[in-house]
Structure 1
């Protein structure tokens, strides 16, 4: 069965809401969780996730918020911390990886850390049995893909197009998927622009999809109550999980 990976902005609008949302997502068929760490300059993200990031920071998000949420959700779902390198660097990679290990977090997704630099931290990750998720883009050459996926851990994040999250552009990913599969047995998940309309197509030839902006845009809808937001996101998750498996 193909898997659904859900991105959630940690602590938005608050910690209790995030905990309730994650619990509902699990019941709706979500298999893995990307717990997004709010950052002031999320360069790979579009306006939807960027807005949620800024609102979370304005609401007082701290790394301690992430740790408190993770202490609960990582026991429920396979959890990865998705964030930009700056907060990890300032906290210290040794300290942050140890904290992840202690909390049961499975690994890190750091979109602004180039593969060559990520290799420097691989020994530390491996020592603590944590994954550093690798990114592959449709613009990567076959040789580049072979170099990246050689070190793939956890899963491979296949970016659906060159751009930012939340857009609806699409590219033929079949050649890229074939190039990955030739070199690695690590599961491949497609992200960027995945929603109820695109999920079935994006899931072809891979092990699952990653959904972020389609969920987070509901969090930003001020016309909905907290309960309504959770119900709407859960329904989206159920629809997407069904579509990628039919």
Structure 2
């Protein structure tokens, strides 16, 4: 069974909604939840997630809200934090990583923390049984891929193309997948540009997909109430989970 990772923007439109949505997604095919940490300059994210980031911050999102959401969600669904390094660094990594473990969070995804910089925190992550998810991109050469994936934990985040999330770019991922598999047995999940129309193609040869913009698009629809947003996201999750396992 191939896995579905769903990204949502924490605290948008409000904290209790994030909890309700997370639990509903877990009941409708989502295997792992990415709780996105709103940030003012989300350089790896497309316009939809960027817009949700800014709206959440305008509504008063604080890092404490992420902790409160996680405490309710992490015991019930495999939970990761996805955010930019400054958000975590300001909390003091030596205190934050043990706290994440205590809450039940299983990993962090930090797109702007280079592999070389992440190495200094390897022991901290390891001591607290928290995965620091590794990224590989089509621009990485063989030597770089081998270095990055050699000690990858939980899964490898394979960027489907060079760019930002939410784009509709399509390309043949098989050579890239083959390059990664030469050096690791860790599951490979494909992110960037995954939606109901592309999921079946993107997941070929991979172990799962990561979906963000498609869910956040629903969250941004102002003509829907909270219940309707949760229902649409739940249906979206079921459709994508089905598509990747046909």
TM class by smaller structure: over 0.9
Aligned-partner Cα distance in 2 for 1:38–1:158: 22
Equivalences, count: 246
Residues 62-84 of structure 1: CA deviation (Å, up to 9, x unaligned): 11100000001101111110000
What is the aligned partner in structure 1 of residue 38 from structure 2? 38
Q: 1:12-31 maps to which residues of 2 (within 5 A)? A: 12-31=12-31
Q: Which ranges in structure 2 are unaligned for 5 or more consecutive residues? A: none
Residues 82-127 of structure 1: CA deviation (Å, up to 9, x unaligned): 0000011111111110110110100110000011111111111011
Q: 1:225-240 maps to which residues of 2 (within 5 A)? A: 225-240=225-240
Give secondary structure in 2 for the equivalent of 1:227. helix
The structural deviation recorded for 1:191 is 0.4
Residues 183-213 of structure 1: CA deviation (Å, up to 9, x unaligned): 1111110000100000000010011000000
Aligned-partner Cα distance in 2 for 1:168–1:73: 31
RMSD: 0.7
Aligned-partner Cα distance in 2 for 1:171–1:193: 11
1:56 aligns to 2:56 (yes or no):
yes
What is the aligned partner in structure 2 of residue 202 from structure 1? 202
Aligned-partner Cα distance in 2 for 1:171–1:118: 29
What is the aligned partner in structure 1 of residue 173 from structure 2? 173
Give secondary structure in 1 for the equivalent of 2:8. strand
